[in-house]
Every structure is written in structure tokens, then in C-alpha cells.
Amino acid sequence: MPSLTRYAHAVRRIIAARLFSVLLFCVVVLCLEEKAWAYGDPGSGTLVWQLLGAFTIGLMFYVRRALAWIRAVVGKKNTERDRS
């Protein structure tokens, strides 16, 4: 069975790759901006706020679960070390 550090390293690499791709996308979008010749509906701002709120709440949920998982793993390591 592979060690936990191997999984943690793999997860860290995946997260880093995803964050890099999102950052690269944002840089490209901001660098290639053009003047918009369109109408922005007033409801669009509300949609953006709703998306930001949902993203924030979802992020808090997953960060909380990740922290609980980390605490459980660290707790297991500490109890194993205490038994030795």
C-alpha cells in the first residue's frame, strides 16, 4: 500500500496544476481584452454576486473537510508514535 506522503504529493501536484491553468487562463483573458460592443443586463451583476457567494460557501465547506481529514491523519500519526 503506498504511503500517505505519496498521495499527499500527488494531490498537491494536481492542485498546483489546476491553479496554474486557472491563473494562465485569467492572464490570457485579461491580456486579450477588447472593447465590448454589447449591452450588459443589470441582472448580470446579481448573477456574478450569486456565483461568488456560492463559490465562497462551497470553498469553506471543502476547506473544512480537508482540514478535518488532515487533523484525523495527524492524530493517527501521533497516536501511533505514542504507542511505540
Same domain, 48 and 76: yes
Same domain, 42 and 82: yes
In the chain, % of residues over pLDDT 70: 86
Same domain, 23 and 52: no
Number of domain units in the chain: 2
Measured in whole angstroms, how far is the alpha carbon of residue 66 from the centre of its chain?
11
Contact yes or no for 73/4 (Cβ under 8 A):
yes
Same domain, 10 and 51: no
Same domain, 43 and 84: yes
Summarize pLDDT for 18-42 with one digit per residue, the tens: 999 999 998 998 888 787 777 777 7
Please, which pLDDT band fits residue 1 given cuts at 50, 70 and 90?
Answer: very low
CB-CB neighbours of 3 under 10 Å: 8
Summarize pLDDT for 40-78 with one digit per residue, the tens: 777 888 888 899 999 999 999 999 998 988 888 888 766
Same domain, 49 and 74: yes
Same domain, 51 and 79: yes
Domain with 6 in it:
1-33
The four Cα atoms 52, 55, 56, 59 give a dihedral, to 10 degrees, of: -160
